[in-house]
Chain A
Amino acid sequence: MDLPPLFHDWFAQRGWSVHPHQQAMLDRADAPALLLIAPTGGGKTLAGFLPTLAELADGGHAGLHTLYVSPLKALAADIKRNLGTPIEEMGLPIRVEDRTGDTSATAKKRQRADPPHILLTTPESLALLTSYEDAPRIFAGLQRIVVDEIHALAESKRGDQLMLALSRLQALCPDLRRVGLSATVEDPGAIARGLACHPDPCEILYADPGPAADISMLVTDERPPWAGGNARYSIPAVLEQVKQHKTTLIFHNTRAQAEIFFHNLWLANDTDLPIGIHHGSLDRDQRMKVEAAMVRGDLRAIVCTGSLDLGIDWGDVDLVIQIGAPKNVKRLIQRIGRANHRYNAPSKALLVPANRFEVVECVAALEAARENDLDGDPKGPGPRDVLCQHILIRACAGPFDADALYAEVRTVGAYADLTRAEFDDCLEFCATGGYALQAYDRWKRLLSRDGLWQLRDPRASRDIRMNIGTIQDTDTLKVRLKGAYKPLGEIEEGFAAQLTQGDTFLIGGEIVRYEGLREVSVEVTRRADKPPKIATFAGTKFATSTQLSQRILRMFQQDRWPELPAHTAEWLHLQREISHMPQADRILVESFPHDGRAHTCFYGFAGRNAQQTLGLLLTKRMEEEGLDPLGFVSTDYATLVWGLQPVPDPAPLFDEAAMRDGFADWLAGNAVMKRTFRASATIAGLIQRNLPQARKSGRQATFSSDILYDTLSKYDPDHLMLQITREEALRGLVDFGRIEELLTRTAGRVDHVTLTRPTPLAAPLLLEAGRIPVAGAGRERLMEETAARLMQDAGIADL
């Protein structure tokens, strides 16, 4: 396809030329599926839209032509603004609108009646659109769908939901062409297979990756601390960098860390540099203010989290600082791409390790980045909780034929191998709950009438629509200044519950004082007179990737570490002298007394989540052995357990069969599993998160989903929701897959070192936050002692 002359003139006027990859996209505009891999800022969004603009230039198309889907609402708004320029300047007869959770009800209604040519939306809003009975009319004439940042969507269930929605659209519009836009990834083929209508092929185009990035570790006079994640020591050096650059993005791995860092940065900011903060728990208006200030170039630095990972055009960012080890090389590269977005100059980035171990991690990540050794784990098959939701969404749109829906679902790459029996289980779950005990004959959600499945009570569609989506929001409460309407942001309910009047915490970089609960929001004032407690946010804690962990283990085998700063190299030498360096094919275990308790440190290098699970499994085994474990703490590389008895021989604890048996038992009673269950049960529609009026009902009426999990495990252990929960447990928060990998690579080779004091590598874990108590005999004993003491104190012990 050639660009109409109008476009050439416009490009020429601006002194631009069409990039080769943009021309390639035009040449293949008719391909049924096409994936473009381009670095951040490579003009990939325009490349995605050029064919649409060209096809719409003559004004001959009526109705919707192109759907644009992105993971962020903000991105949709940003694209709308960016598309406005060429459309206006060329006078193209094209209407562009966005539709997200923020769009007004009136605008949404109008869009359904009279869709624009280009609709910019999110996976959730698109799924909602397909649930309407008039979906065939809304999507009539749809030609193209552009999925932006498809690499980000592909990592989560949002991508699965989107691809299921696409299968529906493809059935409504057989000529629909699919375009994916992706940042650099380790396996483009996997993304392409996910994008195409299975089994169609999908061609992959590569844009020029540009010059290699200029990445290094920030060297400071002060040494990084032994533990923790706030990198406070680096504040003066970071401020100095901000002064030397035009605009700096300061990325953090978690929201809480971003808040603390921002707070400390402000305290040290004696030249009053304009610095903002941006993360997902801040109120939308607050975030938009920061975004607008940034676009205007008013800010010199923005402290942020993953909420700025994706391609919003921020203008003149010339430095990216990553605080804390990047955990994952792929994400590091994508973040670095945020600098020098527009220019063909190398991106400049600095890594700031938050603690001593992260120095090693940062150096390993730098090496991997230089070698462009990207990491990632292959995705499993399409999750069935998302399929359940898809079936319910399909039912909202009207009666459907099960055979046709099954065929449609199998056109989605991730579900290509879904068996009919698996599909029928999901359908049965949606219809009757899928219980071994048939209890809901009268209250079925779906009925089969004349061979077509439909909602028994069409009013149920309201609840189903309100529950669309796969993003798990933890229960949060809005934070408002007393007397103000506008919220400052949100905090987790669990955190709010710990607060008493007068307590202070950080939100949006300011310290506020907790005054009380009002309706369902937290009331605060600015009368802060105490140092802040730290706001806890759900913000994902990433585990260090398998590839990066392996790289660190390889580094540990070197004789010397010239690439590491002296303080860190000395630390490792000392470890080697006193104990051993951990090895990839052996498990190192160190035992030592500390603070009156027996401590044992297990080096698994399996990533934070798997080490956490390992901690739960090991303490369970230790409980059985009568070692009275009291608690444990995990990092990406090790788990430290303390208890009343020392561990005489750790090798049997790692017995593979016992470990797997233990895992199966332990699944039944574990809190992380319960959280996993809750997430899947919510997606599949067993638990409703937005039940109308739910907020009004009293507390007594609501009970925890943990109870449902316990009951199902006991009475219906093969229920679909439990099958799904077990599948999920191999990845994500439980990450048992990496424990399997650990057991395989070490094959029972355990080295046990017994010492009289903590070792250099274990010592930082003693300072680590996030200690988890073990609910065992030891704990029960301590709890009784506490209760007895409280009764004694109250003078009622003899009651």
Chain B
Amino acid sequence: MNAYDFTFCNQRLSALPSGALWWPARRLLCVSDLHLCKSDRVARRSGQMLPPYETAETLARLSADVARTDPATVVCLGDSFDDLNAALSISDKDAETIATLQAGRDWIWIVGNHDPGPVEFAGSHLGEYSALVLTFRHIAGAGPDISGHYHPKHGIPGAGAARPCFMFDESRLILPAYGAYTGGLHATDPVIARLFGPKPCAILTGRKAICVPVRPSGLRARSGRSRGNRP
């Protein structure tokens, strides 16, 4: 497998090239920011009719990861649905796919800012979830924890466009957005960088998970907001 294995809080974890996190000791698969049914919400809110296939695509990727790892527990780390209305509009076929994935496993929906309440699916709906020494929540809090929300992305200089990435140091692990229609925030953006110590690493997703150190560089941030010009 093209995964990258690393140690976080004394646990051996595996960053899959798809953007999912695999914890072999607990047979736990974790994905973040699926943003299912995003096209429906966009159409409802702005009238823009995006290709309505992102839910099927995201679930197809998740199905592949589930088939490969056969997890006992699946943790969806928040923003699983683009909003609570969208969760209602999911097609029968996509709902069936979710039910199939859930069969025979513990399924944990962590609430996110996009889906702040319980959704109409089986599984536990939790604000956060802890197992052994690891805490899973949507937005990074008092660490150490594993979270999502920021959609980090990073690129190796001279090697093409930035890719969604994991980011971690000794006290924090942030997952990339797993959903098909999700953008990203540069790993060097101060909004993300300030959550980490001076030496975080990024694990790039893609054909193969590749780990690189992230050099702090506030000036390269291009978040479109005014903070970019501060070091």
Contacts and interface: CB of A to CB of B under 8 A. Distances in A.
A794 B189 CA distance: 20
A703 B183 contact: yes
A518 B212 contact: no
Contacts of A691: 46, 48
Interface string B61-102: 000000000000000000000000000000100000000000
B53 A794 contact: no
A240 B217 CA distance: 47
Counting chain A residues whose Cβ lies within 8 A of the other chain, the interface size class is: 35 or more
Interface stretch (A289-297, A401-409, A730-738, A781-789): A781-789
A794 B211 CA distance: 12
Contacts of B231: 501
Interface string A715-757: 1100100000000000000000000000000000000000000
Interface string A759-795: 0000000000000010100011001101100110110
Nearest to A459: B47
B6 interface: yes
Contacts of A712: 51, 53
A433 B54 CA distance: 15
A443 B47 CA distance: 7
Interface stretch (A19-27, A149-157, A334-342, A693-701): A693-701
Interface stretch (A129-137, A183-191, A434-442, A550-558): A434-442
A306 to B, nearest CB: 29
A437 B213 contact: no
B189 to A, nearest CB: 8
A516 B230 CA distance: 8
B47 A794 contact: no
B210 interface: yes
B81 to A, nearest CB: 15
B184 A784 contact: no
A460 B44 CA distance: 12
Contacts of A773: 158-160
Interface in B183-231: 183-185, 189, 199, 201, 207-208, 210-213, 217, 219-226, 228-231
Interface string A419-450: 00000000000001101010110110100000
Contact of B208 (A440, A716, A780): A780
Contact of B49 (A440, A496, A703, A715): A440
A515 interface: yes
Contacts of B226: 517-519
B53 to A, nearest CB: 4
B183 A702 contact: yes
A463 interface: yes
A388 to B, nearest CB: 12
Counting chain B residues whose Cβ lies within 8 A of the other chain, the interface size class is: 35 or more
B150 interface: yes
A707 interface: yes
B50 to A, nearest CB: 6
B122 interface: no
Interface string A518-550: 111001000000000000000000000000000
Contact of B156 (A463, A695, A787, A793): A787
Contacts of A698: 185, 223
A657 interface: no
A497 B159 contact: no
A704 B213 CA distance: 25
B181 A707 contact: yes
Contacts of B6: 799
A754 B194 CA distance: 56
Given A500-B219, A714-B57, A432 B49 contact: yes
Given A433-B52, A714-B53, A699 B212 contact: no
A775 B159 CA distance: 9
B14 interface: no
Contact of B39 (A439, A463, A687, A699): A439
A100 interface: no
Given A516-B228, A702-B183, A783 B222 contact: no
Contact of A796 (B47, B208, B213, B229): B213
A686 B51 CA distance: 9
Nearest to B229: A516
A457 interface: yes
Contacts of B217: 500
Nearest to A797: B211
B10 interface: no
A699 B224 contact: yes
Contacts of B40: 439
A715 B93 CA distance: 15
B49 A443 contact: yes
A699 B223 contact: yes
Contacts of B182: 700, 703
Contacts of A442: 44
B169 to A, nearest CB: 10
B172 interface: no
Contacts of A520: 224
Nearest to A701: B183
Contact of A437 (B53, B189, B211, B219): B53
Determine which residue in A463, A500, A700, A707 has the highest number of CB atoms from chain B within 10 A of its CB, and name it. A700
A703 B39 CA distance: 12
A688 interface: yes
Interface in B19-53: 39-40, 43-44, 46-53
Contacts of B208: 780, 784
A239 interface: no
A205 interface: no
A500 B183 contact: no
B61 to A, nearest CB: 11
A474 interface: no
B220 A500 contact: yes
A798 B39 CA distance: 42
A711 interface: yes
B56 interface: yes
A708 interface: yes
Nearest to A429: B49
Nearest to B91: A439
Contacts of A716: 51, 53
B139 interface: no
Contact of A783 (B53, B159, B223): B159
Nearest to B54: A711
B7 A799 contact: yes
A500 B228 CA distance: 11
B229 A515 contact: yes
A711 B53 CA distance: 7
B210 A715 contact: no
A711 B44 contact: no
A708 B57 CA distance: 11
B137 interface: no
A689 to B, nearest CB: 12
A517 B51 contact: no
B183 A787 contact: no
B183 A783 contact: no
B150 A463 contact: no
A285 to B, nearest CB: 24
A76 B6 CA distance: 64
Contact of A699 (B7, B160, B180, B185): B185
A688 B158 CA distance: 30
Contacts of B220: 497, 500
A791 B212 contact: yes
B219 A790 contact: no
| Leading 5 A-B pairs by shortest Cβ distance | A516-B229, A439-B52, A433-B49, A703-B183, A517-B228
Given A435-B49, A716-B53, 5 more contacts: A518-B228, A520-B224, A700-B151, A708-B181, A783-B159
30 contacts: A435-B49, A437-B52, A437-B53, A439-B43, A440-B43, A445-B47, A496-B222, A497-B220, A517-B229, A518-B229, A519-B226, A686-B50, A687-B48, A688-B48, A691-B46, A691-B48, A699-B183, A700-B150, A700-B182, A700-B184, A703-B184, A708-B50, A711-B181, A715-B51, A715-B53, A716-B51, A773-B159, A787-B210, A787-B212, A793-B213
